[in-house]
Structure 1
Amino acid sequence: MTYIPDYLKYYPNKDSSYPLHISKNELQHGFRAHRHDFLEFSYVISGSGCEVINGIQHQMQPGTFTFVLPYQIHEIFTDPGQTLVLINCNFNMELLMEQNKEVSLFSLIDREQPTSHIQLQHDDHRYMLQLLENMLKEYNENNRWKTALLQARLMEVLITFDRIRQQHHDGSTNAIRQTESKSSVWPIIYYIHQNYQEPLTLTELANRFSISLSRISEIIKETTGQSFVPFLHDVRIRHACSLLASTDMSITEIALEVGYGSFQTFSRVFRDTKGIVPKDYRRQKNN
């Protein structure tokens, strides 16, 4: 019998205008194998254990920073007699897709990186811990400019992680360039996330990325665990949920905004995906 890891599609605050959630957690018995369609980083405050990401294991101890990409299968094991205390942050991929290319962090997942984790020590450890504790404090309060400050701190955390990761990488600049030249699924995923409002088809994607129709279908299924159409629906409905919860747009306007040509199609797909019609979903969120 084939074991299929959990597929998690939700975290607190996911269906909001700023889909980010950060929290401190204690794991006495690890965490089961799972994957999800959002990004996650974790930082170990105390305790010890290990994590397996797509079959590759690394140790977890104070100062371990791990950056998990969407759809990667990962599982955490806590060492006997230990309690892993972590700061975890979940956020949607769109938060890396700023319109200003100077501040876009999508390159963090746009290529195969040398490692998904780093071990911070001494000053680096203290700096990262202080940064994350400040971010957690800001998240749990309701101050003016909260979203802007959280975005700035998210960028600082990820930039710090990427800088240290590259410093610790044994390879040269040429090795990194060779890695960047490899074909990657992330430009395809990125394009779908950026253009989900358009009438996307597999044929268009195959032509745009010069990949056969059967191969691009296979790539999307291997990466996301879904075929193209359900994956596109998930992206659209995720954005629709955010608009329903955070705007006064009519449901028909939202249907058009997220790429559905008719209210009826949108309502049917939304109900099939969320188990509730858009009007009732908005009412629940408002309540």
Structure 2
Amino acid sequence: MFSYIDFKKNQVPFYILEQIITETIDLHHHDFVEFSFVLQGKAIENIDGKTYEMTPGTARILPSNQIHAIEIDPHDPLHLYCCLFDFYLLLESPFDDQLAKFILQAGDTMPYYTKLDGDAYEEMHRLCQKIRREYTASHLGKNSAIRAALLEILLVYVRSFANRDLTEESLHTEPSNQIEWNIIHFVNKYFFQRLTIKDLSERFGVSSSYISRLFKRHLNTYFVDYVHALRIKRAKSLLLSTDMHIYEISVESGFDSFRTFSRLFKQTTHLTPSDFRNACLQSPHK
């Protein structure tokens, strides 16, 4: 598995592997969005301290920098397709804003996981085979074909939630220009580093008020609240998946002040970080 991929010049920022995993994969994260589709086998994935079962037909999306680990059943190895791709692949057209918004909401208002069967399973399997063939070949228009197949894969994934009140209206967002999604993508990729509206304003050449408005318009929240939510989410995952000291976790999650981290964590979870860790680890159901 990878935490970073060094793409070659002119290579589309996309990677796919069909693999059989026989050993447990320790806690890690990727710089890219990750999509997987299980063909055979069984495993348990830990995301944000919660466990999810991976069985045939399981498809899942993880945003970039999402900390996770996979526990493999040695008697039933996991056979799956695993794709890593840059969020920018979804930003070439304003009409793809819905899919971009979905990925940003994965794990929050939208689930990480879905289970496909019947026609949906067959369609997803066909698309994974197709995109794998395009990736390994050198045909004319290879990069365009990969992006087109990726969009089809994500559409099958999103539409599988139709019976859970996930409709076009629930994903609706006004078409945006490229720079707005560039800013949102940058925040999602570097939220655990020093990051202020002033930094973004200088980097992207727009006003602070413009940045504030775009977060409210696209994500229905304020910039600072969005960054804090990403950092608290990362801290929760580290608390439940590692034995790191709480102060170390606050730093690793992007907080300059331990006092601020403690206050926001309790405000979000109604527990101190140590109480949260103890309560969840003692619970028989994560």
Instruction: Report TM bin, short chain.
Output: 0.5 to 0.7
Corresponding position: 1:190 with 2:185? yes
- Determine if contact 2:26/2:69 at 8 Å carries over to the other structure: yes
Task: Tell me how far apart the structure 2 counterparts of residues 172 and 20 of structure 1 sit (CA, whole Å).
Answer: 27
DSSP 3-state at the match of 1:11: coil
- String of CA shifts for 1:104-160, please: whole Å, max 9, x gaps: 421222433331111111222122111101110110000001111111000000011
Q: Determine if contact 1:14/1:21 at 8 Å carries over to the other structure.
A: no
Q: Distance in 2 between matches of 1:124 and 1:140?
A: 24
Percentage identity across paired residues of the two chains = 25
CA contact 1:52–1:75 (8 Å) conserved in 2: yes
Counterpart in the other structure of 1:67: 61
Secondary structure of 2:81's aligned partner: strand
Query: Residue 147 in 1 paired to residue 143 in 2?
Result: yes
Change (3 A) 1:214 1:151: closer
SS at the partner of 1:81? coil
Tell me the TM-score normalized by structure 1.
Answer: 0.61
2:120 — aligned with what?
A: 124
Instruction: State the alpha-carbon separation in 2 of the partners of residues 217 and 106 from structure 1.
Output: 18
Equivalent position of 1:21 in the other structure: 15
The alpha-carbon distance between structure 1 residues 137 and 117, as it changes in their structure 2 partners (threshold 3 A), is same
Count of residue pairs the alignment pairs up: 212
**Separation in 2, partners of 1:213, 1:67:** 24
Q: Superposed, which structure 2 residues align to 1:69-148 within 5 Å?
A: 69-98=63-92, 100-104=93-97, 105-111=99-105, 112-148=108-144
Asked if structure 1 preserves the Cα contact closer than 8 Å seen for 2:13 and 2:85, the reply is yes
Q: Work out whether residues 53 and 73 of structure 1, in 8 Å CA contact, stay in contact via their aligned partners in 2.
A: yes
- In the alignment, the residues of structure 2 paired with residue 18 and residue 162 of structure 1 have an alpha-carbon distance, to the nearest angstrom, of 23
Select the residue among 143, 147, 162 that pairs with 2:158: 162
Tell me which amino acid in the other structure corresponds to 2:61: F
Q: Using a 3 Å threshold, how does the CA distance of structure 1 residues 199 and 220 change in structure 2: closer, same or farther?
A: farther
CA distance in 2, matches of 1:163, 1:212: 29
Compared CA separation, residues 126 and 206, structure 1 to 2 (3 A) = closer
Alignment partners' CA distance in 2, 1:219 and 1:156: 30
Contact 1:65 1:117 in 2 (8 A): yes
Q: Is the 8 A contact 2:45 2:53 kept in 1?
A: yes
Work out the CA distance in 1 between the residues paired with 2:37 and 2:212.
38
Residues of 2 paired with 1:44 and 1:38: CA distance? 19
Q: CA deviation at 1:82?
A: 1.4
- Does 2:4 align with 1:34? no
Per the normalisation by structure 2, the TM-score is: 0.61
Q: Unmatched 5+ residue regions in structure 2?
A: 174-180, 189-199, 235-251, 256-286
Q: 1:102 to 1:129 in 2, by over 3 A?
A: same
| Separation in 1, partners of 2:223, 2:55 | 44
Q: Kindly tell me: are residues 16 and 223 of structure 1, through their superposed partners in 2, closer, same or farther at Cα, counting changes over 3 Å?
A: farther
What CA distance in whole angstroms lies between the structure 1 residues aligned with 2:76 and 2:202? 44
Instruction: Give the alignment's Cα RMSD to 1 decimal.
Output: 3.8
Letter of the 1:123 counterpart: D
